[in-house]
Structure 1
Amino acid sequence: MTNHDEVAAVRPLTLAWVSRHLEVGERIVRTEGLRGGITAEMRRLTIGTRDGGTRDLVLRTFVDPIYVERAEDWLNREAGALTLLAGTDVPAPGLVAVDTNAAHCEYPSLLMTHLAGRTVLDDEGLEARVPLLARQLVAVHALRPAKRPQEYVALTTADTVVVPRGADAAAWAAATDVIRNPAPPYQGRFLHRDFQPGNVLFDVPPPGLAGARITGVVDWAATSWGPPDLDVAHCSTNLALLHGPAWGLRFPDAYEEAGGVLAAAASERLYWRVRDGLACSEEVQVVARSWREAGRTELTTRVVEERLDAYVTALMNALG
C-alpha cells in the first residue's frame, strides 16, 4: 500500500523528476525524513518494484536560501565524486540522477542509492571504531582520480574565529596567530573534506558477535584536493567534541598506524589541526544541535564549547 501523505511530502516537481528515473513499473511507496543533515533536506524513498519487493533511494534537496546559492557547486562535486567512487573499494552511494540548478525540481537535488548501516555517535565501542575510521580515510586518500577535484578552500580566518565564553584566552590567541601564517606546503591528495563519524555508516553487530564494520561513507559534496592533514584534522576535531579531547589527539596516530602519511614537521601538523578546530568555533551551535537531534542530548552548546576549548588548548600545549 502506498502512503500518500508521506509521498506528498516530496514536492510535486521533484516527485515527477524522481519518478522519471525509476525503472518501468516502479513507484514511490513511502518517504522518511533523515536526521543529521545541516545544509540540506535528506529523505529516504522506498521504491515499490515490479516483483512486489522494495528498494531504497536517498534524496538530497537544498532548500535553505543560505545554502541554495552554493548548491550547484556542491552537487556537481558530489555527482563527480560518486561517479569516481563507483569503480573503487570505497563504499559510497551510487549516483542515480542530479539536478544541480533546479531545472526540473523545485530546489537543487540529487538522487542516490541507499546504503545499509547507520551512523554511530555513542561513546560505547569507540575504541574499536577509531581504527576503522582511520583505515577508511587512508583508503579515500589513496584514490587517484584522472581529473582532480577543485583545490580545497579554508573559509576561516583569524578575524572570524569565535572564542568560546570562558576559554583559555592565551591558548586561543596563540592558536589564532598560527593561522595568520601562510598555509604550509603539502602534497595534494583526494579529500572528502567532511570525513567524520556523522558521515560514516556502520554495521554494529549485537554484543558477543564479530566487531563493527564500515558499510558506507556519505556526503561527498565538499570533495576537494589538498593535504591529507586537513581531513585528519577535521575528523580529529569532531571526535574531540563528540567524545572528549583525548580522542581528537589520538586520531592522527591511528591514521598513521593505518598507513597514512601526514606532514613531517610538528609545526605543519599544528597548523592544520588548529585551523580546523578554530573553524568549528564558528558553527558550534549548529553542530551541537544536529548531534542532539541524533540522540546525543547531553551535548549542549555549552558542553561542546568547553570541549572545543579543552581541545584547542591541548593542541597548543602538545604541539605549540
Structure 2
Amino acid sequence: MVTGEGAEHIRTDLEDQGWGATRAWVEQALSEAELIEEVRRLRGGWTSEMRRLDIGGPGGRRSLVLRSFVKPFFVRHAEGLLTREAAVLRLLGGTDVPAARLVAVDALAQHCAHPSLLMSLLPGTVRLGDEGADRRAELLARQLLRIHRLPVTAEARPRTYQAWTSPERVSPPEDTEQPELWQRAVDVIRGEPPEYQACFLHRDFHPGNVLFTGDGDGLRISGVVDWVETSWGPADLDVAHCSTALALLHGVSAGMHFADRYLAVGGTLAEDGAAHLYWRLLDALAFAPDAEKVAVPWREVGRADLAPALLARRLEEYLQALFDHYA
C-alpha cells in the first residue's frame, strides 16, 4: 500500500459512490473545527479500498487513512477482519512495532457506506524494486522477529492461524511441465500440521505491507500495515509467507535466503526440515497457479514486469528449490 507519494487525488468530499455517510462518520471522529481538505486514493491494496484523508484545523494539518471493504467477499467477513485489526492496533500502541494508531472503526457499516476503519497515516513508502532488496530483506527479518517476540497475554491473543489453501483447493498452472512436482507438494500439505511453538503472527507480512524511509545506511522501516489477518501460530508460517513473496518479487534465491536471515538475527524455526517444509509449502501453494492476486497491487506500484507467466515460473522454481533444500 502506497501511503503518500504517487497517491491518486480523487475528491475532497467522499460523496462519490454513496460515500456521504462515511464522510459524516469520519467527521465525528475529528477534533472540533477540523475539516477534510483533500482525499487521495492509495494504490497497492487488494482486499480493500484505501484513502488518505488530509485534515486541516486550528492545530495544524494531519493525515489519516481510511480502509473500507467494498468487495462482497470481504464485506461478508468485515466484522471479524476489522474488529481484529482494531484490537491489534490498540495492542501495538504500547510497543516498538511501527503500526498505525487506531482512530475509529465501524466493522458492520452501521454508520458508513461500507465496513471501515480509520487510522493514523504512517510515514514512508512501499519499496518493491530489485535494487536494494537484500538490505531491505535484512530489515524485514529483524522487524518480523520483533513482532514474533511481542509479549501477549492469553486474553489478548489473536485467533489461531488459518490455512489459506488445502490439498483440494490447489490449482497448478495448466501448462506446467512438472505435474509431479505439484502433486508432491500437495501430498506434503495433505498430512497433519507439525507440532509447533506458537507466537504472535502478523500473518500477512511481506514487502507490500512494510513502509520504508531513507536510503543506504539510513534505510529504516517506518511502518507495518494490514493487521487484519493477525494470528497465533508458528513463526515458520510468517517466515514462509514473506519468503514466497520475496521469491515472486526478486527470484527464487531471495525467497530461499529469508529463513536464513531470520535465523541469523535470532529467530527460531522448526529444527526438523520436513516440518519447516510443510509450512513453506502450505504458504506457497496458496499462490497457485500464477500469484495474480498479489501481482495486481505490485504492478500498481511499479513492478510492471511481474507478468503472470513470470510469476508462475518463479513459483514453480521455488517449489523445486524448497524440496531440494529441505526434503
Q: Specify the TM-score bucket, using the shorter chain as the normaliser.
A: over 0.9
Counterpart AA for 1:7: D
| Partner SS for 2:325 | helix
Indicate which of 32, 38, 48 corresponds to 1:40: 48
The equivalent of 1:150 in structure 2 is 159
Bigger shift: 161-170 or 223-232?
161-170
CA distance in 2, matches of 1:193, 1:8: 31
Please report how far the alpha carbon of residue 167 of structure 1 lies from its aligned counterpart in structure 2 after TM superposition. Answer: 4.5
CA distance in 2, matches of 1:62, 1:73: 12
Counterpart AA for 2:302: G
The equivalent of 1:161 in structure 2 is 170
The TM-score, its normalising length taken from structure 1, stands at 0.95
The equivalent of 2:231 in structure 1 is 224
In the alignment, is the contact (CA less than 8 A) between 2:10 and 2:39 conserved in 1? no
Runs of 4+ deviating beyond 4 Å: none
* Cα root mean square deviation, aligned: 1.4
List gaps (5 residues or longer) in structure 2.
1-8
1:80-138 CA deviation, whole Å, 9 max, x = no partner?
11000000000000000000101110110000000000000000001111110000000
The equivalent of 1:67 in structure 2 is 74
In the alignment, is the contact (CA less than 8 A) between 1:171 and 1:316 conserved in 2? no
CA distance in 2, matches of 1:292, 1:16: 33
Please report how far the alpha carbon of residue 144 of structure 1 lies from its aligned counterpart in structure 2 after TM superposition. Answer: 1.9
Please report how far the alpha carbon of residue 5 of structure 1 lies from its aligned counterpart in structure 2 after TM superposition. Answer: 3.6
The equivalent of 2:3 in structure 1 is none
The answer to whether 1:19 aligns with 2:27 is: yes
CA distance in 1, matches of 2:106, 2:315: 37
For the structure 1 residues 148 and 29, does the alpha-carbon distance in structure 2 shift closer, same or farther, using more than 3 Å as the test?
same
The equivalent of 2:318 in structure 1 is 311
Please report how far the alpha carbon of residue 47 of structure 1 lies from its aligned counterpart in structure 2 after TM superposition. Answer: 0.3
| Partner SS for 1:241 | helix
Counterpart AA for 1:16: A
Indicate which of 263, 270, 282 corresponds to 1:263: 270
| Partner SS for 2:130 | coil
The equivalent of 1:132 in structure 2 is 139
1:146-168 CA deviation, whole Å, 9 max, x = no partner?
22101011031111111123252
List gaps (5 residues or longer) in structure 1.
none
CA distance in 2, matches of 1:37, 1:141: 24
Please report how far the alpha carbon of residue 21 of structure 1 lies from its aligned counterpart in structure 2 after TM superposition. Answer: 0.4
The answer to whether 1:171 aligns with 2:178 is: no
The equivalent of 1:196 in structure 2 is 206
Please report how far the alpha carbon of residue 283 of structure 1 lies from its aligned counterpart in structure 2 after TM superposition. Answer: 6.7
State, as a whole percentage, how many aligned pairs show the same letter. 50
Counterpart AA for 1:39: T
In the alignment, is the contact (CA less than 8 A) between 2:93 and 2:99 conserved in 1? yes
The answer to whether 1:297 aligns with 2:304 is: yes
| Partner SS for 2:23 | helix
CA distance in 1, matches of 2:218, 2:132: 9
In the alignment, is the contact (CA less than 8 A) between 1:236 and 1:249 conserved in 2? yes
The equivalent of 2:126 in structure 1 is 119
In the alignment, is the contact (CA less than 8 A) between 1:289 and 1:300 conserved in 2? no
Indicate which of 168, 182, 185 corresponds to 2:192: 182
In the alignment, is the contact (CA less than 8 A) between 2:100 and 2:225 conserved in 1? yes
CA distance in 1, matches of 2:297, 2:21: 28
Paired positions, count? 314
In the alignment, is the contact (CA less than 8 A) between 2:289 and 2:312 conserved in 1? no
The TM-score, its normalising length taken from structure 2, stands at 0.93
CA distance in 2, matches of 1:196, 1:213: 15
For the structure 1 residues 49 and 163, does the alpha-carbon distance in structure 2 shift closer, same or farther, using more than 3 Å as the test?
same
